[in-house]
Amino acid sequence: MAHASEEFGHGDDRPPVDRDPADQDPAPPRRRTGGRSARVRAQVLAATGDLLVEGGYDGLAVDAVAERAGVHRTTVYRRWRDVGGLLADLLDAASDDAWSPPDTGSLEGDLAALNREVYEALAGDGTGLTTALIAAGFRSAEAAGALSRFWEDRYARCAEVVTRATARGELPGPVDTRALLVAATAPLYHELLLLRAAPDPALPGRAAAGAAAAGRAGVFGVPAPPTAVTPPR
């Protein structure tokens, strides 16, 4: 399969192999290193995010990222290859943090706190980095894969919210954790991304309350496996 950059016009302007003396040992994007490698990665990813917000996917080009980051373009081409590689690493870097879901003492409170973080990332004029990255996922296969990894990571971390609620006795029996979390956050993505509705500060709490009530009512319960029936002799 062609890289996303080749499909959308970023793959035909690769420079000649003019070696950058400072870039003899490039590291893979996900490798955690210090010193110059870490500084270059931080500069390049910051430039990628800024340019994506400013011009969208179509306004993103490797040469422009290199110029904005203040690094040699060969460094960027060799380490990230193309726009898809830049976007994928930008998303993967977002998972290299110590974020954990807040503990408010109740399921509804925890879901509301999570929703407020989502709301802050999505609300506004629709030109924020979160919105731009989601849109880029529809244009780049590498970005789409990285976006899926990011969501999987966040849902895995947020499972703690349901585990705590079950331990407190707020939820009856085994619960489909993913279904509950999706139900809590889906109204925000639907309203703010799909419908482009006007920001509503009450939306995070309202969506959380609905999902928590459904959870308490057993809507997200996991069915018990069927009992084997022994045929009569």
What pLDDT digit, counting tens, does each position of 23-68 carry? 444 444 454 546 889 999 999 999 999 999 999 999 999 999 999 9
Mean pLDDT of the chain: 85
Contact 84, 161 (CB under 8 A): no
Cα-Cα-Cα-Cα dihedral sign, residues 210, 193, 43, 154: positive
Instruction: Say what the pTM is.
Output: 0.77
Closest among 43, 55, 68, 199 to 135, alpha carbons compared = 55
Closest among 43, 117, 107 to 76, alpha carbons compared = 43
> Across residues 197-215, what is the average pLDDT?
97
**Which pLDDT belongs to residue 5?**
30
- pLDDT of 11 strictly over 80: no
**Which pLDDT belongs to residue 94?**
87
**Which pLDDT belongs to residue 124?**
66
> pLDDT (tens digit, 9 = 90+) per residue, 153-183?
999 999 999 999 999 999 998 999 999 999 9
Q: Please tell me which residue, 185 or 127, carries the higher pLDDT value.
A: 185
**Which pLDDT belongs to residue 126?**
54
Q: Reduced to 3 states, what is the DSSP secondary structure of residue 58? A: helix
